[in-house]
Amino acid sequence: MKLAFIGIGKVGFALANNLQKKGHEIIMGHNNLNSPSLLDAQAKNPNFVALTLQEAVDDSDIIFLATPFKINSSILEPLRFHGKTLIDCTNPVGPGISHGLESKISGAEKVQEWAADAEVVKSYTIYGYENLENTHFSKYHVKPVMLVAGNRTEAKAQVMQLNTELGYETLDVGDLSQALHLEHMTLMWVKMVRVNGHHPNFTWAYLER
Ligand X SMILES: NC(=O)c1ccc[n+]([C@@H]2O[C@H](COP(=O)([O-])OP(=O)(O)OC[C@H]3O[C@@H](n4cnc5c(N)ncnc54)[C@H](OP(=O)(O)O)[C@@H]3O)[C@@H](O)[C@H]2O)c1
Q: Footprint of ligand X on this chain (CB under 6 A)?
A: 7-12, 31-32, 35-37, 66-69, 71, 75, 89-91, 93, 125, 128-129
Q: Output Rg (C-alpha) for the chain, integer angstroms.
A: 16
In degrees, rounded to 5, the angle at the alpha carbon of residue 133 between the alpha carbons of residues 6 and 95 is 65
Q: CA–CA separation, 120 vs 152, rounded Å?
A: 8
Whose Cβ is closer to ligand X: residue 91's or residue 170's? 91
Whose Cβ is closer to ligand X: residue 31's or residue 83's? 31
Measured from the CB of residue 146, what is the shortest distance to ligand X in angstroms?
A: 11
- DSSP 8-class letter at 140: S
Measured from the CB of residue 134, what is the shortest distance to ligand X in angstroms?
A: 13
- Chain centroid, CA 21 distance in Å: 17
Q: What is the dihedral of CA 16, 97, 150, 7, to 10 degrees?
A: -30
Whose Cβ is closer to ligand X: residue 102's or residue 154's? 102
Whose Cβ is closer to ligand X: residue 6's or residue 160's? 6
- Chain centroid, CA 85 distance in Å: 12
Measured from the CB of residue 185, what is the shortest distance to ligand X in angstroms?
A: 11
Residue 163's alpha-carbon distances to 19, 45, 89, 111, 137, in angstroms, are 10, 21, 13, 21, 15
Measured from the CB of residue 77, what is the shortest distance to ligand X in angstroms?
A: 13
Whose Cβ is closer to ligand X: residue 23's or residue 36's? 36
Residue 198's alpha-carbon distances to 128, 181, 202, 203, in angstroms, are 12, 21, 7, 11
Contacts of 10 (CB under 8 A, 6+ apart): 129
Measured from the CB of residue 145, what is the shortest distance to ligand X in angstroms?
A: 15
Whose Cβ is closer to ligand X: residue 203's or residue 207's? 203
By beta-carbon distance, which residue lies closest to ligand X? Answer: 9
Measured from the CB of residue 53, what is the shortest distance to ligand X in angstroms?
A: 8
